[in-house]
Amino acid sequence: MSKGKWMLIASAMFIVCLSACSETGTLNTGLNGSSSSSATGFTPAVAKGSLLVLDQANQALKAINLATGTITNLLTFPDKEPNDIQIDGNYAYVADSECGKLFRVDLSNGGSTSLSLPPYSNPDDIAIGSNQIFVTLAVSNMVSVISKSSYTLLTNINLDSDSYPEGIVVGNGNIYVASCGYLAWGNPGNYTNSRITILSESDYSVVSNVPCSQDPESLQAYGTYIIIAATGNYSNINGMIQSMNASAPYALTNLITNAEGWTYVKTDGRLVYASDDNDNVIVANYNTLAVVTNIALQNVQGINISSNGVYFSTGYLGTVCYLMNTNNFSVKVISNIGGGASALY
C-alpha cells in the first residue's frame, strides 16, 4: 500500500486533485491516458512458478525462479515507487505511484507497455476483472478503468473527496474499494468515515458504503467474503482484520482484534495470514479465529499462498523474501532479492 498520504500532503497538486473529484460514483471519461511500448525485453521467458518482487529501493521488477534460485531483473522504472503488482495470464501489471503509470510486462517475451494515468494521482492498488483492470488513484480519489484488450484508459470513476482509495478487489459482479476516509494532514476527522465502497462492475454506480475499522488498506476476495486489513490509523488501536459478506447486507465480522496496525492479509480458507506495521506476522485459524502463531518478520508487504507454503516479501528498503512451512510454521530466508510488493507467476 502506498504511504503517499504522508508524502504528498504539502503539495499544491494534492489540493488541486482533491477539489477536482468529489462526486460519489460519477464517471470522468475525458482523461484518456497515453501509452508507450518498449521493444527492450528479457530472455529467456520468466519460468512459471517464479516469484515476482518489486524492488522499490532499486526501482526494479525482479523475478526469482523458485526451483533454481536464479534472480532476473525484468524492468527498471523511471521513478522510485513501483507500488503494487498483479499477474493475469502471462502479463504482470505494475502501478508506479510516483510517475503515475500502469506498466504491463509480457512475461513470455519481456515486452513492456506503460499507460499514463491522470497526473499527480498516486496509483496505489490493482485489481484484475474479466475484461478490465481497475487501479485505485489515492490522491485523486478515483478508480481508473483500463481495457485489457486495447490497454487503453476507458474512464475514471470519481469517488467522494475523503475516500483516499487504497486496496481494491473484484468479485460477485462488484468492485470493492478500501476508502480510508482521509481528509487532510492533522485533521481530527481523519479515518472516522473509513468504509468499503462497493461499485457495480457493470456500470460503476455506487451500490453501498459499508463502515469498517479505521484506515482499511488491504483487501482479498475469498469465496463469498471480502477480507479486510485495517491499520487503525497506525496507532495500534482499532486496527482489525475483518470479514465482510460480498453480497447484501454486507455484514461485517471481526476476525482478528489484536489492535495492531494491520497492513496486508491473505487467507486460504484454513488459515489467515496478516502482517502489521510492527514487523509481525500473525497466523490464525480461519474458522475458530484462534491465533496459531505470531512471527517477527521484517516489514512484510507481500503475502503469496502456494502449495509449497506461504511466501512473504519485505517492504520498502527491505531485502528479504521468506518461505513459511504451513505445517510447522517454520520460516526460512529464500532470497535477498529486494523489498516491495510481490506476486506468484
Sign for the pseudo-dihedral over CA of 149, 120, 77, 340: negative
Using CB atoms within 10 Å of the CB of residue 67, give its burial: 0 to 12 exposed, 13 to 18 middle, 19+ buried.
exposed
Nine-digit cell at 90?
A: 502471462
Q: Give the residue among 30, 20, 107 at the shortest CA–CA distance from 63.
A: 107
pLDDT band at residue 8, thresholds of 50, 70 and 90? very low
Question: Does residue 318 surpass a pLDDT of 70?
Answer: yes
The average pLDDT across 108-131 equals 93
Q: What is the mean pLDDT of the chain?
A: 86
- pLDDT computed for residue 308 by the predictor: 93
Q: Provide the pLDDT for residue 303.
A: 96
CB burial class (10 A; 0-12, 13-18, 19+) of residue 265? buried
Cβ atoms within 10 Å, residue 184:
13
Residue 3 has pLDDT above 50, yes or no: no
Half-sphere exposure of 5 (CA within 13 A, CB side): 26
User: Which of the pair, 20 or 106, is modelled with greater confidence?
Assistant: 106
Instruction: Say if CB 50 and CB 87 are below 8 A apart.
Output: no
CA 137, 301, 264, 215 torsion: positive or negative? negative
Question: Of 28-32, 283-287, 335-339, which has the strongest mean pLDDT?
Answer: 283-287
Considering Cα of 254, then 256, then 257, then 262, what sign does the dihedral take?
A: negative
Q: In this structure, what DSSP letter does residue 184 have? A: S
Mean pLDDT over residues 305-329, rounded?
91
Cell 516491495 belongs to residue: 340
- The 10s digit of each residue's pLDDT in 178-187 is 999 999 988 9
Query: In the structure grid, which three cell numbers stand for residue 211, read together?
Result: 463502515
Q: What is the pLDDT of residues 50-64, one digit of tens each?
A: 999 999 888 899 999
Of residues 88, 89, 91, 77, the one with CA closest to residue 123: 77
- The arithmetic mean of pLDDT across residues 296-314, rounded, is 92
- Residue 302 in contact with residue 313, Cβ under 8 Å? yes
Residue-level pLDDT at 196: 98
CA dist 97 and 91 (Å) reads 19
Farthest CA pair distance, the chain: 54
Q: Is the pTM value of this prediction over 0.85?
A: yes
Q: What is the mean pLDDT of residues 286-313?
A: 92
Mean pLDDT score, 290-313: 92
User: Which DSSP category does 233 fall into?
Assistant: I
For the beta sheet containing 309-314, the strands, ordered from the edge strand earlier in sequence to the opposite edge, are 300-306, 309-314, 321-324, 331-335
Higher-pLDDT residue of 25 and 229 is 229
Contact 91, 108 (CB under 8 A): no
For the chain, what are the domain ranges?
A: 1-21+35-43+78-152
User: To which residue does cell 485489481 refer?
Assistant: 127
pLDDT at 236 (0 to 100): 62
Q: Write the pLDDT tens digit of every residue in 65-75.
A: 999 999 999 98
Residue 11 has pLDDT above 50, yes or no: no
Distance CA 218, CA 225 (A): 14
Distance in angstroms (rounded) separating the CA atoms of residues 244 and 223? 11
The per-residue pLDDT for range 209-263, each reduced to its tens digit, is: 999 999 999 999 999 999 999 998 876 667 899 999 999 999 999 998 876 789 9
From the options 2.40.10.500, 1.10.3720.10, 3.40.50.920, 1.10.240.10, give the CATH code of 1-21+35-43+78-152: 2.40.10.500
Whole-angstrom distance, CA of residue 25 vs CA of residue 202: 13
- Give the pLDDT of residue 279: 85
Q: Are 40 and 308 spatial neighbours (Cβ–Cβ below 8 Å)?
A: no
pLDDT for the residue numbered 220? 96
* Number of continuous H segments (helices) and E segments (strands) in the chain: 2, 30
8 A C-beta contact, residue 325 and residue 309: yes
Residue type at 160 in one-letter notation: D
Q: Measured between alpha carbons, how far is 54 from 168 in angstroms, rounded to an integer?
A: 19
